[in-house]
Amino acid sequence: MLNVERLLFDSLRLVRWTFQDVGDQVPMHAHREGGEHISILVKGRVLCRGENWEFSLDTPGKIADFVPGQPHSFIAQEADTVVINVYKVNEGSDTEGFDDAF
pTM of the model: 0.81
CB 17 within 8 A of CB 72: no
Please report, in tens digits, the pLDDT of each residue of the chain (102 residues total).
888 888 777 778 889 999 999 999 999 988 765 657 899 999 999 999 998 999 999 999 999 988 878 889 999 999 999 999 988 776 655 444 444 455
Q: How far apart are CA 20 and CA 40, in angstroms?
A: 17
For the chain, what is the radius of gyration of the CA atoms?
A: 13
- SS3 label, residue 81: strand
Q: Is beta strand 72-76 parallel, antiparallel or unpaired with respect to 25-29?
A: antiparallel
For the chain, list the domains and their CATH numbers: 2-88 (2.60.120.10)
